[in-house]
Structure 1
Amino acid sequence: METTLIAEKVEQAKDAVGASEADAWLTFCRETNEIAEPCLPYILGFDVVWPTAIVIGPAHSTVILGTHDSPNAEELDVHEVKPYDESIREPLQATLSGLDAEKIAVNFDRDDNVADGLTHGLYLRLQELLPGRELVSAGDIISEVRGIKSPTEQERITAAAETTADLLDGLAEEWTPEMTEAEAADWLHERMREAGYASAWSWDYCPTVHAGGDSDPGHTLPGELRVPEGELLHVDFGVVKDSYAADIQRIWVRGEPEPGLQAAFEDVRAAIDAGHEALEPGAVGYEVDAAAREELTARGRETFDHGFGHQVGRTAHDGGLLLGPQWDRYGDSVVGDVRPGELYTMELGLDTKWGYVGQEEMVRVTEDGTEFVVEPQTELRRLSE
């Protein structure tokens, strides 16, 4: 069981509750093998069957769960454990009363999917169980707990990123002119199966492989295209190692690049560098995105139709603050401040006649700025035949 990791995250959660306007954070869930609660891996670490409540206050945490699930919680040795048989009502009410908790943060959020695990039915049930108490969004608390990575999380994300980069280098070494997109994906999948790695997003689409200018960019299935002379191999890829993910994009050219391709690569790198320069503690999400866009348009390029960056953690898209534009589809997820301990991608690309010039790097935010998780791609690499 992930005792060390969960202990780290629960201590973070206590601090986050203490800094919030809520008196306690309540994660309420049931049958999590059927409907997953995104916060459970951080604060409990195992699936539950009966209705379960994890209550975290500024200095104390309690888990209230069915008798048959309670031995797992006892073994964890992180929370006070209150088993029940017939009803969760009385121990839940007593726990909240012991914290003088009237304003309760619960897991719903308009814009952040990883903070929106409470189903509507369970929300109605909470209203019935806790009459007179105010239920508010736990989005800000969850954003801090999930976004600011603990030492254990930082180590695991770094390991996943290094593994991803090594596998991408291995693919480039094994590439031949006869290799199709699908065969490139199969090569990576075989290495993942051998090592027991999961994919950072849907297996069939991870990796995403694009061979040359005839390949449609985006989250597409690898097909039968091969890389023509002078054109690009683009791969978007990430493994999950020890429950934590990576998300990196790399490109290679077959043969000598034309000047237009080299210029496109340099413009993409300049835009990423501009966003990177703006990314620091206290920066606002949409302002970081704007810095990258402004550099790209200043170079006469069309801008990209997605956010510049997202957080990475247990999944490739880890919720919390986005480095994105103020578009309706992103809601308020782009208006928060960047914090030390968070880890972001920086990504954008250009669709050219030689293929998709897509780049994606991973950076962690430090107290003073940022640092790359793995070495960035700063030059156009060649495929060796």
Structure 2
Amino acid sequence: MTSTDLYPVSRLAAVQEATAKAGIDALLLTPGPDLRYVSGYEAKPLERLTCLVVPASGDAYMLVPRLELPAAQASPAARLGLEFVAWDETDDPYAIAAARLGKVAKVGLADRMWAMASLRFRAALPGAEQVLAGSVLRELRMRKSPAEVAALREAGQAIDSVHRQVPEFLRAGRTEREVARDIAEAILASGHAAADFVIVASGPNGASPHHDVSDRVIQAGEPVVIDIGGHLPNGYCSDSTRTYSVGEPPAEFTAYYEVLHRAQVASCEAVRPGVSCESVDAAARDVIAEAGYGDHFIHRTGHGIGIEGHEDPYIVAGNGEPLEPGFAFSIEPGIYLAGRHGARIEDIVVCTEDGVERLNTTTRELVIV
């Protein structure tokens, strides 16, 4: 799998077509996931403006600081046949973009554009309405190509290899931070370019879904929620949660973990083309609610994943959008008992032509170490 597969030249034309269809005159894509998705260029987010200008018609071009020009020309963006417009330290790149665009009524700004840049564009293009480029790009980014699915599958296998090592790191007497340090090193050793997050939540900390880590000492008999992920050098992300126990856990925990396991399986089995995002959420939520733990499942069932760890589609009540082949997202129900403990099971899945593929394959049973 090459960068040509993940960032095909044809993507730029598809983006221009979608931009025109949306009634937007141009997209302005600064460093971040939108720029990388369209061009393959992982530009540095600097105070100096780098911006891919994608007009609804006509030729796209890349504004780059002159000192960043070699990096831009060496990136996959060079395959697109773009003009690279280098600007010097005394130039105003926003004025350059405005002059080249001419009179425009509506522009789409990269969703992760810094406020500094968006306000400068507003001043340079005072007559243009600003909207989010995501309103155009989400439709393309949600539908993963076979190459993108392969990249996510590779990321899933890499993070699975880390979860298989977790029992070596977990033991009573170690702090969450010590365990997290070992996990982060294992994430890098597995082939990830970076460990984007490591959650090690022991005992009562497990009841906080985004706990992170602390200097708390892990005790015997405690459940520990391990939620980890990163991104590969190609930009595609991993994310998987498993729950462990250091010795035999409390009986009440074992009881609700079994409920959680059934809920996660039910939600995965609900995935198929045409099914709504909210019905996949309901498949997990109903199992948990029927067992009496509904008030303890306090977040959505899942989020899309790709070149970002969180992106469309979101698996949540109120989202009636139907699943399509190529949609990739997490399924991660959780049960959290404040002050005591919690549990979560998370897989990344892909909607296929006739069902679902799980990209994480490590055991979802409670692992006692």
Same fold by TM-score greater than 0.5: yes
Q: Is the 8 A contact 2:49 2:63 kept in 1?
A: no
Q: Please name the residue that 2:22 is paired with.
A: 21
Map 1:56-205 onto structure 2 (within 5 A): 57=56, 61-65=60-64, 69-70=68-69, 72-75=71-74, 76-81=78-83, 83=85, 104-107=106-109, 114=112, 119-125=117-123, 127-128=125-126, 136-192=131-187, 197-201=192-196
Structure-1 separation of matches of 2:22 and 2:37: 22
Deviations 1:181-234 (A, max 9, x none): 222112213334556745553xxxx321122357553322233322423x3222
Displacement of 1:92 = 5.5
Structure-1 separation of matches of 2:134 and 2:115: 11
Gap change, CA 1:283 and 1:107, over 3 Å in 2: farther
TM-score (norm 1): 0.75
Partner residue of 2:335 out of 336, 350, 372: 350
Aligned amino acid, residue 331 of structure 2: M
Displacement of 1:106 = 0.7
Point out where structure 1 has 5 or more consecutive residues left out of the alignment: 30-35, 327-333
Q: Is the 8 A contact 2:220 2:247 kept in 1?
A: no
Q: Is the 8 A contact 1:200 1:245 kept in 2?
A: no
Q: Please name the residue that 2:11 is paired with.
A: 12
Q: What's the % identity of the aligned pairs?
A: 22
Q: Please name the residue that 1:380 is paired with.
A: 366
Q: Is the 8 A contact 1:232 1:354 kept in 2?
A: no
Displacement of 1:371 = 0.6
Partner residue of 1:285 out of 277, 281, 287: 277
Q: Is the 8 A contact 2:273 2:351 kept in 1?
A: yes
Structure-2 separation of matches of 1:91 and 1:123: 11
- Larger deviation, residues 62-71 vs 152-161: 62-71
Q: RMSD of the TM alignment (CA)? A: 3.6
Displacement of 1:322 = 1.2
Displacement of 1:299 = 1.9
Q: Is the 8 A contact 1:62 1:95 kept in 2?
A: no
Q: Please name the residue that 1:237 is paired with.
A: 228
Deviations 1:7-61 (A, max 9, x none): 42x52353354353336541254xxxxxx44412223403474463421548964
Matched residue pairs, number? Answer: 352
Structure-2 separation of matches of 1:368 and 1:60: 39
Q: Is the 8 A contact 2:202 2:218 kept in 1?
A: yes
Q: Please name the residue that 1:33 is paired with.
A: none
Q: Please name the residue that 1:306 is paired with.
A: 299
Gap change, CA 1:107 and 1:368, over 3 Å in 2: farther
Q: Is the 8 A contact 1:54 1:62 kept in 2?
A: yes
Gap change, CA 1:274 and 1:171, over 3 Å in 2: closer
Q: Please name the residue that 2:38 is paired with.
A: 43
Gap change, CA 1:41 and 1:177, over 3 Å in 2: same
Point out where structure 2 has 5 or more consecutive residues left out of the alignment: none
Displacement of 1:250 = 0.7
- Larger deviation, residues 187-196 vs 177-186: 187-196
Gap change, CA 1:279 and 1:116, over 3 Å in 2: farther
Q: Is the 8 A contact 1:73 1:79 kept in 2?
A: no
Structure-1 separation of matches of 2:366 and 2:16: 47
TM-score (norm 2): 0.78
